[in-house]
Structure 1
Amino acid sequence: MSSVLEITDPQFDTEVFEAETPVLVYFWASWCGPCRLVSPSINKIADSYGDSLKVVKLEVDPNPESRTKCKVEGVPALRLFKDKQLLAEHEGAIGKQQLEEMLKKHLN
């Protein structure tokens, strides 16, 4: 069981901008090959960081409002938010080690 929460446009503000902890948003698509490569790393990060980081995933095709709000141009894409502020972003495939390095810069 993954601790990644799947969200949709109507849930975005509540789950991301109103969260008490930093939130990693993973934008993906079912037709995206690189997304299938990144997903296991996202799940491992969610399990590893537990209470210090909330991880959500949002499928881009049925959720255009959030995709536009976060200026996502390609998938897979990652956005790290804390207190409504964008701390980090990445588009394209990313390895678990690179992802952890990105997170460590912004998480205590």
Structure 2
Amino acid sequence: MPTKPVTDASFEEDVLKADKPVLVDFWADWCGPCKMIGPSLEEISDELAEKVTIAKMDIMENPGVPGEIGVQSIPLMVLFKDGKPVAQKLGAAPKSQLKQWLESEL
């Protein structure tokens, strides 16, 4: 399953009310490290589709939610379970590290 775009307007429904954990990748088009991890997150989204939804939120187009939860640096990945942030990872990392971190938090 490809990553899911999320907006300020859809965040509550897509993330906070989701029936399974959601990893939100806060990113921007001008962010090099964000672009580096994009393909890895797409692959992980396919590999872990039964366990987690991977969503992407462009902080330039959607400043509300990132401002509310205090996103100061990107790429920032925040894992939400039952509507609450339970883990986060800042910065780019190889796919194997991203997947291992995510699986350990699920």
TM-score by length of 1: 0.91
Distance 2:62 2:90 in 1: 17
Distance 2:69 2:43 in 1: 23
* Aligned match of 1:78: 77
Aligned positions of 1:9-24 closer than 5 A? 9-24=8-23
* Aligned match of 1:101: 100
For structure 2, the 5+ residue unaligned runs are none
Distance 1:8 1:86 in 2: 17
Following superposition, the deviation at residue 51 of structure 1 comes to 2.0
How many percent of aligned residue pairs carry the same amino acid? 36
Distance 2:97 2:72 in 1: 20
* Aligned match of 1:56: 55
Aligned residues: 106
Amino acid at match of 1:18: K
Q: Deviations over 1:20-48 (max 9, x none)?
A: 00000011101111111010111011010
Following superposition, the deviation at residue 91 of structure 1 comes to 1.5
Following superposition, the deviation at residue 72 of structure 1 comes to 1.0
TM-score by length of 2: 0.93
Amino acid at match of 2:46: D
Distance 2:13 2:22 in 1: 11
- Cα RMSD of the aligned pairs, angstroms, is 1.2
* Aligned match of 2:40: 41
For structure 1, the 5+ residue unaligned runs are none
Amino acid at match of 1:63: N
Q: Deviations over 1:80-104 (max 9, x none)?
A: 0100121210121122111112112
Distance 2:43 2:53 in 1: 12
Select the structure that is richer in helix: 1
